[in-house]
Amino acid sequence: MKVKLIAQIAPFVLPVWETKIKIHSMENQTDIKKVIRQHGEMETFFSGGFTQKSPAQIERLRPAVENTEVAAKLEKLSAKVGKCRKCGLGAERTNAVPGEGNSNAQIVFVGEAPGADEDAQGRPFVGRAGKLLDKIINAMGLQRQDVFICNILKCRPPGNRDPKPDEINSCLPYLQKQIETLNPEIIVALGAHAAKTLLDTSETIGKLRGRFHEYVTSPGREPVKLMPTYHPAYLLRNYSLDNRRKVWDDMKKVLDELNLPILPK
């Protein structure tokens, strides 16, 4: 009886299922196509559209001549970070990631914390987010070695979890000392953790970004201009032209503030 019924309704039901399966696989294909297109757009935006500049085109902020006195101080700090056990992260890391770059840098980029690649190499921003940061820096007409790159936390939180307040409190003096030593013209705070920590605010990154704030290094010294912007990892996750434009607009403000040209495509 059941078999007879199935045989009777099958010609009507099967085409509907087939259509549903077709639509579903078309949707999947569209998703994949969308992701590929979006990644292509990202490439174009930070590399093609804003062509990666050749060394000859690059207007250096300052000649890549190191300030030996500053470099020596930074080295000393890095050595301290390498031995640090002020919080639990010290025992879990493969390598500490103090930061690196030009001791004469006018721009300091500050991220959140090392990830797996950074922990493995002991260098900041060398993973996927780092590759995008390199492209952003290059699109600005600069090279990685023209700027200084570091993080709020110098050791990787397990599983890339958010930094804990006590970890930030233990680690922050290292960053404060780095910034005071470098005395840059501009700090670019990459993402909410960097911006909120350095500005000591609970305001969202969406509200903070797009305009300069002031970061006080030490009493009696001119505050350093701080531009918050979205973290490159956020850009990779929240892929939209609008977000990319916002980051580029923020970087153009940085270039403008330093009287640096926005190089043509």
Distance of closest approach, residue 45 Cβ to ligand URA, in angstroms: 20
Report the candidate in 144, 148, 142, 143 with the shortest Cα–Cα distance to residue 262. Answer: 142
**Which residues make Cβ contacts (< 8 Å) with residue 98, sequence separation at least 6?**
77, 78, 81, 82, 150, 154, 174, 178
- The structure tokens 């260098």 sit at 123
Bridge partners of 151? 111
C-beta closer to ligand URA: residue 112 or 250 = 112
Specify the amino acid at residue 108. Answer: V
Alpha helix (H) ranges present in the chain? 2-43, 68-83, 89-92, 116-121, 128-139, 165-182, 192-199, 205-208, 232-237, 241-257
Residues 6+ apart with CB under 8 A from 103: 66, 67, 68, 70, 71, 74, 148, 182
Nearest to 103 by CA among 133, 64, 130: 64
Determine how β-strand 224-229 pairs with β-strand 148-151: unpaired
Alpha-carbon span 211 to 142, nearest angstrom: 21
Compute how many other C-beta atoms are within 10 angstroms of the C-beta atom of residue 98: 25
Q: How far apart are CA 114 and CA 151, in angstroms?
A: 7
Q: Give the nearer residue to ligand URA in terms of CB position, either 129 or 260.
A: 129
3-class SS at 148?
A: strand
Least CB distance to ligand URA at residue 163 (A):
10
Q: Which residues bind ligand URA (CB under 6 A)?
A: 111-115, 118, 124-125, 127, 129-130, 151, 233
